[in-house]
Amino acid sequence: MARRRASGRKIEARPPTFLSRTALCRLARVSEWQLRLWEEEELIGPARMVELDGNREPLYSRRALERIRLIRTLAEDLEVNLPGIEVILNLLDRFAG
């Protein structure tokens, strides 16, 4: 699906970018243990699962990266506990969607 600019030139829609678990953790500066904990608490989740060498591997969107950075800021800088983070994220999701 192509978009048009105000000048009339077409801009091709870019396919979504997905990140591996390792890449996501590096970019967000969190450990895989932290990511798994937040997944168990259902604060974050993969955008899709792919089959690689007989194993199911999660792939994450750029939006997940932003969400993880927000979770990390809430937890580390503002010292919000997990239940508080869940409440904040749910409120933000309601306003955004």
28 and 68 in contact (C-beta within 8 Å)? yes
d(CA 2, CA 54): 36
* Count of alpha carbons within 13 angstroms of residue 54, beta-carbon side: 0
Q: What is the pLDDT of residues 19-37, one digit of tens each?
A: 999 999 999 999 999 999 9
The number of distinct structural domains making up the chain is: 1
Within a domain: 83? yes
Within a domain: 1? no
Within a domain: 49? yes
Q: What is the CATH number of the domain that holds 42?
A: 1.10.1660.10
Average pLDDT of the chain is 89
Domain range for 43: 13-96
Within a domain: 40? yes
Query: What is the pTM for the complete model shown?
Result: 0.78
Q: Which of 93, 94, 95, 30 has its CA nearest to residue 60? A: 30
